[in-house]
Amino acid sequence: MSITPQIKRVLLMNAASNIIFNYIGIFVNLYIWESAKQIKDVTWFNLVMFISWSIAFAVGARLLSAFSTRFLIRTVALSGTATFLLLSFLHLDNRVLWIAIIAVPVGIMWGFYASAQNITLSVFGRGKDFEGYFSYASIIGQAVSILNPVVFALVIKWVGYNGSFLLMFLFVILLLVVSFSIPPITLAKEPEPLFRNMSFSKVFCYPAIRWMVPSCLAAGVFLQFQALFAIIFTFSVSSDKLVIALLNVMYALSSIGSMFLYRRLQIQNGIWLAIGMASMCIGFLCALLQHSFFLVISNILTTIGLFYFGTVWNTGQFKIISKHTAIEQARIFLWREWFLNVTRILLLVSAMFVKDFQGGYFIALMIAAMACALLVPLFSGKSAASEENRQQGVQLPSGH
């Protein structure tokens, strides 16, 4: 599966940043969890992070009108530096405030990175490039998911969290170096400002792209439910960092197995997406059995579902978005990120009241997440069908 040189450089950026984000996703969340082992602490961290992420994504898109994607990635590296300095040296009695201060630069990292990656990939990607990119990105992600947890679990055992925070500076420097090699995409030469013609009706002006809206809203709910509780389920199985690392390796291997099947079996993408969402729902149900074995099975099944979702769903949306001009793509991505994050944030606000995994409130959240997961293939199918009809003769509205 061939990819262009520009996409290869985006993958290099993806690899460098993946190491940092994977570490934060596991060990910073674990660092926060270990103090009181309360769901609300991890939820609060992720809530502040996503609010910061949403704001940073918009700011990053606006900065592309004056700077290039290289500037955004360098800002990501600087935010990473701030994150690990705060983790190393900031100590506050007010735990809520401490967690929020740590979460803000993490959110800035994610927001700026997502903004740079989306516009770069969409500008350079065409057709098969998206499938190639998301496939190779999955391989990179799984390789990092296998090596990173084990390596850093051992580092933390030997030199503690502070030693691992200092080691992360090496990867922040690596990301800074990589920023000089990625394509310098900018919106500075676009004929109109980003926030002109930014209204919903002007951005989502034909059926295929309008169907993305409910799809993104539904995806945000089940994605955040899976992301939050997969972490907490894993932490509930064991407090041993090496065991937690090995469990994450198991999840990565299950995703690699899913990728192998995806490449070998000639099945339509719509069916793969339905299989992924069914796997996600079964995984959610397994968690209700509240035994360590079933919590692990739950995470394996939701990881498999997440692979098929990420590969098929993202590829389909990027193919449609890439047919627009660069400035139009930036507007679509901005709205898309907001739609994804608004339901992520609502889920996290709701999860603040979860005290255990057996109460009716947790089950209600799970049912909502399952319903949203099952709606995604429907909305994606509507979008794909509308785009196919448009390609067969219906033209985009004027200006697109």
pLDDT in tens, 317-337: 888 887 888 788 888 988 998
User: Does residue 342 carry a pLDDT above 80?
Assistant: yes
The number of domains in the chain is: 1
CATH number for the domain spanning 274: value is: 1.20.1250.20
Q: How many CA atoms lie within 13 A of 137 on its CB side?
A: 21
Comparing 193 with 164, which gets the higher pLDDT?
164
Task: Note whether residue 236 is domain-resident.
Answer: yes
Task: Note whether residue 316 is domain-resident.
Answer: yes
Task: Note whether residue 359 is domain-resident.
Answer: yes
Cα-Cα end-to-end distance for the chain:
30
Q: How high is the pLDDT of residue 220?
A: 93
Residues of the chain with pLDDT > 70, as a percent, come to 94
Task: State the virtual CA torsion across 271, 275, 278, 284 in degrees, nearest 10.
Answer: -150
User: Does residue 352 carry a pLDDT above 50?
Assistant: yes
Q: What confidence category does residue 398 fall into, taking pLDDT thresholds of 50, 70 and 90?
A: very low
Q: What is the DSSP letter of 132?
A: H
Task: Note whether residue 196 is domain-resident.
Answer: no
- Per-residue pLDDT reduced to its tens digit, 7-58: 777 788 888 888 899 899 888 998 999 888 888 999 999 999 999 999 999 8
Task: Note whether residue 195 is domain-resident.
Answer: no
Task: Note whether residue 69 is domain-resident.
Answer: yes
Task: Note whether residue 266 is domain-resident.
Answer: yes
- Per-residue pLDDT reduced to its tens digit, 362-379: 899 999 999 999 999 999
Q: How high is the pLDDT of residue 396?
A: 47
The C-alpha atoms of residue 320 and residue 337 are separated, in whole angstroms, by 16
The C-alpha atoms of residue 108 and residue 60 are separated, in whole angstroms, by 9
* Structural element, H or E, at residue 305: helix 292-308
> Can you give the pTM of this predicted structure?
0.84
- List the domain range (segments joined by +) for residue 336: 5-183+202-391
Task: Note whether residue 399 is domain-resident.
Answer: no
- Per-residue pLDDT reduced to its tens digit, 103-125: 999 999 999 998 888 777 766 65
